[in-house]
Structure 1
């Protein structure tokens, strides 16, 4: 696939890191909160970048956009996160043009997720696009690309069983609790934080443990009250966290903080305590393991569950890849058409000018010249000529860039500049 550019010198890049090579600690350093993403996009705009998406989830942080060199995007990511360029280079990936487009399709359709077929990412991609559009840094290329990825995602969901069965990080955490905590129905469970994974875990806990002793705490109590009301849970104030930890058997942490919110100084219980940290960056300090009665499990360990469900899902990967290929081909065709549309438009204008000059000349020279009829015939010929050129440019076996140059040269076309 050819070079897609907004200007002569910029290409489309994806730069980022994911769970594949970067552990939770490193991902934590590069994670971007809402404010950082907004500031990063504004800075990119000042630098003349006119199309950029920023996504940051517990599994990955990525920038997708146009740049003259990928280092422009790498520097933006490092400037607005806590990671350094050296650390980035150790675990990162950089994709360009076609590879970058393919990567975004795989990510957005759950094929690159930590748990295969996890479609959580598509709503995050929609949010990323919404943010960029609001800030005026989402060009037609990005809009069309994101919509194509959403379309592929919907088709894969509807036409394959790649997301069948219950498999997600929240499901895996509940499975872990069920397998490792005896008499779970009578144990005290405390959920700290109301992030999306935390909410889903909470729902799964209620469903699978039949436990009436689940307590919820969040920094902003209104959010906790909302969820507590929905699931009929006990809600406590943030100030009661230490006292509640003392009473609990299982602590699930799903806060969105950039630094640990739970450390050994908060824990005074002598009973066995299982802590599940479902946050990136890590929200539970490793120093809790200095306490003999505490065991700690992080999101990355939970994501390693491979069960029958996952094995079954793998069977549908080829079908999903076929769907991606179809939708991606439509996108590529649109892109090619978009690339030569200005030339075809200018050619049409040039031919119309020639036609009008000729009709004007003939009407003065020939008596009873039928201008109207001649106009209809000329327009049909112009239509046929431009169609021939368009079909030629669509032909994948030719170098469309050279052809475009030649057409412009032969007809001395002046393209409209935005």
Structure 2
């Protein structure tokens, strides 16, 4: 596979880890927040990484970028997170050039999601690109690649039923509550934190449980009030957490903290309590499970709730893959063209110089020489010659690198790439 380089010695890599080999605890160690991503961008600039995109969700953390060696990207990630290189290597994947491009298409279109067809990841790619652009780490390659993946994702959404039916983790958590808690409309539900899955769970609970006993607590009260206003919920202060947990029958934890926020000490185990921990890393201490009357369900368990919806979705995988292949082909075509465009432009310039010299010579030599006609004919010939070369370079049977070298040698060209 030839290098898809933009800068001379760099290859394009995707490095990361996901739910497939890394459990919630390990994923938590490598998760990145926005300041963390910005810091990685700054460090990447210092070591000469040209073009970098970072995404971090509860199911995966990935870096896509140009480097001389993938270890440069791995080190950037490990230096900025709680995880070590050794831990990363145990669960990681590294893709290069064409494979890295294919991986982003697969991820961005929900084909690699923990719940097949979960399209939330595409907004993470959009945000990742926005951050890269803001940090001046987005190059034309990354921009075109992200746009192609977004385009494929839209087409799959519109042309297939890969994301039909509700199978999001938020829906799975509500389904779990409805299936396991009798008389749900009578129960006290407490939502701690305003993480996305928690907010979606909350919205689904309001919709499906007919419950008016839902309370929301967040470290910053304004955020809680903002969300509570939408769903007409009660808001309590962070200081009331312990007393509210004691009143609750169901506790949904969706904070973005890096360490557990719900400890054994906060819980009053005199009556049954169901805890759903929808956070990565885990935000409920492991020892809470030891308490009588307390059931703790983590995100990973909910993600495994598969049903007929998922089986139905699987039928659309081949169609989705075909769309991906089509859009990817167009991207790779653009990439090849971009690679030889500087040489073709330099060739055009060279032929134009020859044309100008020749017309100038003939104008002086031939009386009544029609310069205008000569220009028209010459320009058409130059157009046809460069088109022949471009078509030759586009051909899949051709070794582009060798051909480019030969053209440059024959015409003594010095292409200047932008």
* TM-fit CA distance, 1:31: 0.6
* TM-fit CA distance, 1:137: 0.3
Mapping of residues 278-357 of structure 1, within 5 Å: 278-357=278-357
* TM-fit CA distance, 1:268: 2.0
Mapping of residues 18-417 of structure 1, within 5 Å: 18-417=18-417
Gaps of 5+ in 2: none
Distance (whole Å) between structure 2 residues aligned to residue 165 and residue 289 of structure 1: 32
Number of residue pairs matched?
A: 418
- Partner of 2:252: helix, strand, or coil? strand
* TM-fit CA distance, 1:123: 0.6
Describe the superposition over 1:370-394 as per-residue Cα deviations: whole angstroms up to 9, x where unpaired: 1111011000000000000000000
1:276, 1:299 within 8 Å by CA — same for their partners in 2? yes
Distance (whole Å) between structure 1 residues aligned to residue 295 and residue 417 of structure 2: 63
Distance (whole Å) between structure 2 residues aligned to residue 17 and residue 375 of structure 1: 59
- Partner of 1:415: helix, strand, or coil? coil
Distance (whole Å) between structure 1 residues aligned to residue 11 and residue 31 of structure 2: 24
- Runs of 4+ that moved beyond 2 A: none
Q: Which moved more, 1:266-275 or 1:68-77?
A: 266-275
Distance (whole Å) between structure 2 residues aligned to residue 253 and residue 364 of structure 1: 86
1:109, 1:122 within 8 Å by CA — same for their partners in 2? yes
Distance (whole Å) between structure 1 residues aligned to residue 11 and residue 341 of structure 2: 19
Gaps of 5+ in 1: none
Aligned Cα RMSD in Å?
Answer: 0.8
Distance (whole Å) between structure 2 residues aligned to residue 25 and residue 412 of structure 1: 58
Describe the superposition over 1:141-179 as per-residue Cα deviations: whole angstroms up to 9, x where unpaired: 000000000000000000000111111000000011111
TM-score (norm 2): 0.99
1:245, 1:269 within 8 Å by CA — same for their partners in 2? no
* TM-fit CA distance, 1:417: 4.8
Distance (whole Å) between structure 1 residues aligned to residue 344 and residue 411 of structure 2: 11
2:254, 2:278 within 8 Å by CA — same for their partners in 1? yes
- Partner of 1:262: helix, strand, or coil? coil
Distance (whole Å) between structure 2 residues aligned to residue 236 and residue 125 of structure 1: 34
- Partner of 1:62: helix, strand, or coil? strand
2:269, 2:294 within 8 Å by CA — same for their partners in 1? no
